[in-house]
Amino acid sequence: MGHVVVLGVFVADTAYRSDRMPHIGETVLGNSFALGPGGKGSNQAVAAGKMGVQVSMISRLGNDDFAKMALEIWKKSGVSPHVKQSSDDYTGAAFIFIEESTGDNAIIISPGAAAKISPSDLISKTELINSADVFVTQLEQPMDAAFKGLQIAKLGGVTTVLNPAPAAELPNGMLDLCDYITPNEIETEALTGISIKTMEDAKQAAEALKKMGVSTPIITLGEKGAYLYGHGLVPAFNVGSVVETTGAGDAFNGGFSAALSDGMTPLAAVQMGCATAGISVTRAGTAPSMPDRIEVDKLLKR
Asked if 170 and 144 count as a contact pair (C-beta separation under 8 A), the reply is: no
Catalytic annotation on 179?
Answer: no
Query: Rounded distance, CA 80 to CA 250, Å?
Result: 18
Q: Single out the catalytic residue among 250, 262, 292, 297.
A: 250
Asked if 48 and 120 count as a contact pair (C-beta separation under 8 A), the reply is: no
* Angle at the Cα of 257 from the Cα atoms of 253 and 258, rounded to 5 degrees: 120
Query: Rounded distance, CA 10 to CA 27, Å?
Result: 29
User: CA 189, 176, 57, 38: dihedral to nearest 10 degrees?
Assistant: 0
Closest C-alpha among 133, 79, 151 to residue 259: 133
The residues carrying an active-site annotation are: 250
